[in-house]
Structure 1
């Protein structure tokens, strides 16, 4: 058997695209060339990997098994290339993933520091929710991801970065009314119908429900896609929400009607971390990257505590 890396990459493209034409476009080859490689791949393995339907393809049971192994193999190959690229720490090429509730607030300052450290670094950033970022990380498409703890699954190395506390955000009238009825400002005093959350899939929404001791969302569930949307809504008196300290400088600058209130100690918070594959080589680049993120976060967190003492 003489399976090639090209066949593995073409098969992964086909499985993800679900169509020969789209897979060929993604792989930058002609459709006949991709189809021939898939047929040869199946012949070498002695199994049918895809069901060829009129408008799409479906993976066979063997196809699903081969897909999982193909992704692991290509991730290992990428790790081999990475070991060569990073012989001198954080240099060469970096593919980084960041969750959306961190990216707009921390990335501008962090990327400035990263580029200042090495102008030759080839940097690519993907913003997505935690689950797709971890899938891409394990598949070798990302070198590292900045996410909130805990990180589900295994096969990754975690470097905890810093604590990001939550504050209560809303209009001045709503916050005053809410606080007047609460003896101590506890997140568990919030009711589901008062709380506006990000759409499902965002870890911040799950964390908000957890710290507030809520089992589900309220009757009005807007499913906002960004913290900026939530901040704009609650500043106009439409409910309350939790904002992380990282977001305070940007969101308060965007709306002079947004009011904030600290919870009583111990304040609810999230812990942000940098993760990489356990199989990837680390000659110091991850520690360098983590240090740059911590350095970028320090003034943002200090400013948050000035804005909302």
Structure 2
């Protein structure tokens, strides 16, 4: 048994899919499957039930996963503690998911650097599932995430709630309105991101609430692709408010509209391991980020209605 085997098992438990777990661990699917078979042989128990298109943990597997998480967290803190003694505590490794990072980081990095001038800030942009794995394994000190997390080894601090806006092509019947009522979207089709983005799940839930459906003939790999498709008149989509700041777009070819009396939004938080020696610095960074958001969102509202 080695540490990588435990990482493979935890990734599979999180993803419930061999292909996605292998991608996160940066190995081939056969390699991951073979190593987990060896781990089962070594322990003498079945850890997973291999059902077509699904993976379910056995009772023994759930117990081993819980223990593996604790072992990986302890190993991460051991490495971080040693790094701190070498002076590495002046380095913060922060992960952010891709539908937020390009719109948030340019605004929050300068004040963080001003507050911690001697700290090296290493930034990672990855999907939320990858960030969770990297945080648990000690590759990251903190991660900014927008999907709920229940992890006994981690703490989190709420940063802000980010509203969703509706992006529609110029000339669309809704483009002349100041607001969108949920009923305006009944039976409409919305373009969404591909599988693996937390924003996709959030947009799907909002779509269900307003009676809209997904446009199944197209799935984007990024918000910028969605934006350009809307500007080209192909369809409409949800965009998070920070992606609609003046610096992020020029509104040519489309409009972005807020929802009237509807709270379609995502809750963004910063997560870290409870035993991290960087807890105080991470929490203070969280306070800096939270303090920047109201003016950013206000700036976006002023630009849309100027």
Scaled by the length of structure 1, the TM-score of the pair is: 0.70
Q: Displacement, 1:160?
A: 0.5
The aligned runs of 1:148-297 (5 Å cut-off) are: 148-174=146-172, 177-178=173-174, 185-187=180-182, 189-191=184-186, 194-212=189-207, 213=209, 218-249=214-245, 250-253=247-250, 255-281=251-277, 283-297=279-293
In 2, distance between residues paired with 1:13 and 1:204? 26
Aligned length: 268
Are the aligned partners of 2:191 and 2:215 in contact in 1 as well (CA < 8 Å)? no
Structure 1, unaligned runs of 5 or more: 1-6, 24-44, 48-60
Which residue does the alignment assign to 1:92? 90
Q: Secondary structure at the match of 1:252?
A: coil
Q: Aligned partners of 1:216, 1:258: CA distance in 2, in Å?
A: 19
TM superposition score normalised by structure 2: 0.71
Give the match for residue 29 of structure 1: none
User: What is the CA–CA distance in structure 2 between the aligned matches of 1:118 and 1:191, rounded to whole Å?
Assistant: 49
User: Alpha carbon RMSD of aligned pairs, Å?
Assistant: 3.9
The answer to whether the 8 A contact 1:192-1:218 is kept is no
> How far does residue 83 in structure 1 lie from its aligned partner after superposition?
5.3
Q: How far, CA to CA, are the matches of 2:70 and 2:299 in structure 1? A: 43
Shift of the 281–196 alpha-carbon distance from structure 1 to 2, 3 Å rule, reads: same
Higher strand share: 2
Larger Rg: 1
Residues 99 and 222 in structure 2, CA contact (< 8 A), matched pair in contact too:
yes
- Structure 2 vs 1, CA of residues 133 and 46 (structure 1 numbering), >3 Å: closer, same or farther? closer
Going from structure 1 to structure 2, the CA distance change for 1:17 and 1:268 (only over 3 Å counts) comes to closer
